[in-house]
Amino acid sequence: MTQTPGEQLQKQLAKAREDADRLPGGPDETPLQPDLPPDRTRQFTHTNFQRMRTDWPGEDKTKITELTRLADNVLAARFADAWWLLERLYRAVREPVTTSDGEVVRDLAHHVKWRRNEHGFYIEDWSRLGDAERSDFLHELTIHMFEWTQQAAQMWGSAMFAKGIWEEAFAYGYITPRGKLTIDDRTQAGHLQSIEERYFAIFQSLLSRRADALVRSLERLETMLLQRERR
């Protein structure tokens, strides 16, 4: 059966979407994978790991640092009660870093810095957490867990919606150019048209992943406190 021009364009667009960089939009997504033609992969016999870069280069490192700071600020606002609960728990079981004058050292987000041992682990003494305090923390965790899981789910939905907007922008950029262009040309046009939407979607995906990680950590904390209460 002969396809109409419109059907052919839709088929090309679908193929372009499949070949485009995949966005890590949610828990079930996977990181980007290189897709090199076979003739290029045969040019190398081994990799010199001694020369491999282990950190971001100058300008990119600045961007990643700023992105992390922005994500920290969003999570601190969305999960303010969770952060405050953890802060109070740490005060009970950890030792703060202090200056020579006895002043408590804080980071850029004004959170207390906690002492670590020679192996890099936080110095903690859970015996300092009394039964009454433990019960209070468990009560707060149980009461607020519903709100935290709902907030994490909402952020996952925002990441999925942002991914949809990026795909629409990519599709518009793909079909807009006129003339006899190759699929690669249209794909490149789609990427250029949707740069801003793509990075916004990546940022929303980062927030969603970190929110999920925070909720899982709070759930493990709740389990640990319950186990200590039953001893």
User: How do the domains of the chain map onto residue ranges?
Assistant: 58-230
* pLDDT, tens digit, 9 for 90 and up, residues 189-203: 888 889 999 999 999
CA distance 186 to 179: 11
- Please report the pLDDT score of residue 174 as a whole number: 87
**Is residue 218 a contact partner of residue 148, using CB atoms and an 8 Å limit?**
yes
* Residue 200 parent element (H or E): helix 195-230
Closest alpha carbon to 228 in 134, 110, 153: 134
Q: Given the structure tokens 């004058």, which residue do they identify?
A: 101
Residue ranges, the chain, pLDDT below 70: 1-47, 229-231
pTM, to two decimals: 0.75
- Please report the pLDDT score of residue 34 as a whole number: 47
CA distance 231 to 228: 5
CA distance 211 to 202: 14
Q: Given the structure tokens 């009394």, which residue do they identify?
A: 130
Q: Given the structure tokens 């979407």, which residue do they identify?
A: 17
- Please report the pLDDT score of residue 178 as a whole number: 81
